[in-house]
Chains A and B, each alone.
Chain A
């Protein structure tokens, strides 16, 4: 409730600010359908709705069509990416690179394909598009090798739903309201996410706004995952007791018959 009130104040403030700054650039007022996604016992993924309004100075729509790009980005973490090759007839992990800032989740939706909206340089600066993620690689030799590995990762994560790209995800109504659905799969990593919205016109990013989204395990799942991490001994003991008692119970029940 307090959150909602705060949000309302922020919204009004932003609107007021936008009206006050008549001559300035347009503003974005973004929001997401849920600020926190709880992973619970039957979590099979969710759909996050990113929506909001474009506030133009003087409430006058520009003559050109403006486009919206939304990005949902998960926490970055260092990973080792391994590549299997055929060695002596069998497939083994042969080559690897380290990526120090690889996002565990990245989804981008836009109202038109990114390459029609901005040039390559701008896309790279704002990290728009799967091929423009900067993952800080170390321990590779050539640019060609790096490109091969990055494509491998993108392909893998795309099929797992952890990387997502949809050039038609954003729907703009009357030039001022936008909405986009981003699918979040079950195997999504937990952490603090950022939902970013970009307003793009004539190849330029003219407004950016962001909201935080938290994805977390909740209830029993959170308890189990935390116990496995922090209290290994008690957790292991619980697993042993569970298996011994279930095994014992089954034999006791069946013997009575």
Chain B
């Protein structure tokens, strides 16, 4: 079934887009990530202009994170104070991101920067996750208890001035640290159309040293509000949000997310993390290879 996308200015097969959203949603429900890191590259691969892909993927991540964020809020799994600081940073970041977007577009390097950011971020996060997951799996097989992680924040965080108490996270640190982290993720959300959960969660654990019981909920809370901000900024600056495309993706992804979340309960979390690491690394590898081989289109029109 072909459908015309009024902002992207081309026709797509609606079923393919819904299935794409469903597949990404399934993974996002299973792993508790937004899934934007898969949507944007897949849409670009399908032929959607990169800007429209990033903007509409951000809208889709909003939908995918709503139910998760609400569930964690009900269970008191969100550090609201930490979340507010992160969201404030994220909103500042999305505005900075919009400026960068415009600058890079005028300079003609937006596509390359997006690709390199993807490769660098997903390559490193995937490696860290993969190594940890493998370690946990090995420990599991040998019947040992999983290696206990020392919970402490990075020394750089401790050196920042001004300290607040974040009760739910069990932290007494400078709010500047989460503010800066939120800003960085906001910039990335704006440029890549990702929710940033795959960066946020490790950063919360390893940089801030947050208590694990509120990490995922707070990350989802931040993702929800920052993707909303990003959608608004995109609508006001690039005008690249395609409502029809976003709606198709959403229909698939919100359903897929619910199925994925149920499926996740039947699989051991160690395996889940190993699979997620493999997917992240595969996408990073694919994008890295694309940077080095001769692209299909040498010429582009702007």
Chain A residues engaging chain B, CB cutoff 8 angstroms: 39-45, 79-84, 86, 89-93, 96, 102, 149, 152-153, 155-156, 186-187, 189, 217, 220-222, 224-225, 228-229, 232-233, 235-240, 242-244, 246-251, 254
Partner of A80, one of B108, B237, B291: B108
CB distance A42 to B2 under 8 Å? yes
A84-B295, A93-B111, A250-B254 known; A224+B235 contact, CB < 8 A: no
CB distance A44 to B241 under 8 Å? no
Partner of A225, one of B6, B254, B291, B293: B6
CB distance B295 to A251 under 8 Å? no
Q: Mark B269-302, 1 if CB is under 8 A from A, else 0.
A: 0000000000000000000000111110111111
Q: Which of B10, B59, B298 has the most CB of A within 10 A?
A: B298
CB distance A243 to B246 under 8 Å? yes
Q: Is B63 an interface residue (CB 8 A)?
A: yes
CB distance A238 to B243 under 8 Å? yes
CB distance from B13 to the nearest CB of A (A): 10
List A contacts of B64 (CB < 8 A).
247
SS class, residues of chain B in contact with chain A: helix
List A contacts of B299 (CB < 8 A).
81-84, 149, 152-153, 155-156
CB distance B297 to A236 under 8 Å? no
CB distance from B285 to the nearest CB of A (A): 15
CB distance B243 to A235 under 8 Å? yes
A236 to B227 CA separation, bound complex (whole angstroms): 11
Chain B residues engaging chain A, CB cutoff 8 angstroms: 1-4, 6-7, 9-11, 59-60, 62-67, 70-71, 108-109, 111-112, 228, 231-232, 234-237, 239, 241-244, 246-247, 250-251, 254-255, 257-258, 291-295, 297-302
A sample of 16 inter-chain contacts (CB < 8 A) reads A42-B1, A44-B4, A82-B300, A155-B299, A189-B9, A222-B6, A225-B7, A228-B6, A228-B243, A235-B243, A236-B234, A240-B228, A242-B63, A243-B231, A246-B254, A250-B257
A228 to B231 CA separation, bound complex (whole angstroms): 12
CB distance A44 to B11 under 8 Å? yes
CB distance A247 to B63 under 8 Å? yes
Partner of A236, one of B11, B235, B300: B235
List B contacts of A246 (CB < 8 A).
63, 247, 250-251, 254
Give the 9 A-B CB pairs with smallest separation, nearest first: A236-B235, A247-B66, A251-B67, A250-B254, A243-B63, A152-B299, A247-B63, A243-B62, A221-B6
A186 to B5 CA separation, bound complex (whole angstroms): 10
CB distance B67 to A250 under 8 Å? yes
List B contacts of A84 (CB < 8 A).
295, 297-300
CB distance B235 to A235 under 8 Å? yes
List A contacts of B59 (CB < 8 A).
239-240, 242-243
